[in-house]
Amino acid sequence: MVRQESLIKAAEGKCEYHRADHSFRVMKLALQIFEHQLEIDAPEEVRQESDLFREALKWTAVLHDREMAGFDFDHGFRAAGKVDQIVRIQTSERLRDIIKFLCIYHVPDDSEIENINETQRWILKVFKDADSLDRIRFNNGDKLDERYLRFDFSKTLVSEARSLWERTKQFSDLPGKSFDAVFNNGIE
Ligand SMILES: [Fe+2]
Ligand SMILES: [Fe+2]
């Protein structure tokens, strides 16, 4: 299991809208979607090694936008480039490869993503739906458009995602407080 303190320590962000509070909301939402979909349509590989994929979602949540500075298509690649340095001691190479994959591929549109396998496509859908649900924080061109959520279950989480954001946005500069706000007062 990933130690909570390690995740909190890794959750930094340079950009106003992509700080620790975003990371932890995405983590919570991704785990919710994961647990729901696991028994419904997860590939066999994910069912067999569900802990590995849970860990990958947690680390990706804290790392995926860490390198973001405004609109920037390459921030996923830069995040992937930091994975070995930041989480090497606590993770296996296989886990780091999944984290790197998710960091890189969370950025491009689904329509631009080709040549990935069934497991990669499924776990990416889980992560991207969680990241998309936290677009509830935007009121501009990046705002949430529910039609693009990939799982039907994700569409049922919109009002919960809004409520989670409203209760946790004030902790954006404080990773520890953000974590507590999301996981201790969050939605179960
Ligand atoms: Fe991003
Ligand atoms: Fe994000």
pLDDT, average across residues 63-87: 91
Q: Could you tell me the domains of the chain?
A: 4-178 (1.10.3210)
Distance 176 CA to ligand 2 centre (A): 18
Token pair 């458009």 is found at 145
pLDDT for the residue numbered 185: 62
Distance 72 CA to ligand 1 centre (A): 8
Token pair 């909190």 is found at 8
Distance 86 CA to ligand 2 centre (A): 18
pLDDT, average across residues 117-125: 98
- Quickly list DSSP for the chain: ---HHHHHHH---SSTTSSHHHHHHHHHHHHHHHHHHHHHH--HHHHHTHHHHHHHHHHHHHHTTTT--SS-TTHHHHHHHHHHHHHTTTS-HHHHHHHHHHHHHTSS-GGG--S--HHHHHHHHHHHHHHHHGGGG--STTS--GGG-SSHHHHTTHHHHHHHHHHHGGGTT-HHHHHHHHHHSS--
Ligand 1 ion: residues within 5 Å (CB): 65
Q: Say which residues have a Cβ less than 8 Å from residue 51's Cβ, sequence separation at least 6.
A: 1
pTM of the predicted model as reported, rounded to 2 decimal places: 0.95
pLDDT for the residue numbered 18: 86
Distance 18 CA to ligand 1 centre (A): 8
Whether the Cβ atoms of residue 10 and residue 177 lie closer than 8 Å to each other: no
- Asked if the model's pLDDT at residue 7 lies above 60, the reply is yes
Distance 51 CA to ligand 1 centre (A): 24
CA distance 93 to 143: 35
Distance 79 CA to ligand 2 centre (A): 11
CA distance 139 to 57: 26
Token pair 């959520």 is found at 149
Distance 81 CA to ligand 2 centre (A): 17
Distance 75 CA to ligand 1 centre (A): 7
Ligand nearest to the backbone CA of 134:
2
User: What is the token pair recorded at 32?
Assistant: 């919710």
97 compared with 71, residue with greater pLDDT: 97
Distance 11 CA to ligand 1 centre (A): 14
Model confidence at 2, pLDDT cuts 50, 70, 90, reads low
Instruction: Identify the CA nearest to 92 among candidates 144, 141, 130, 55.
Output: 55
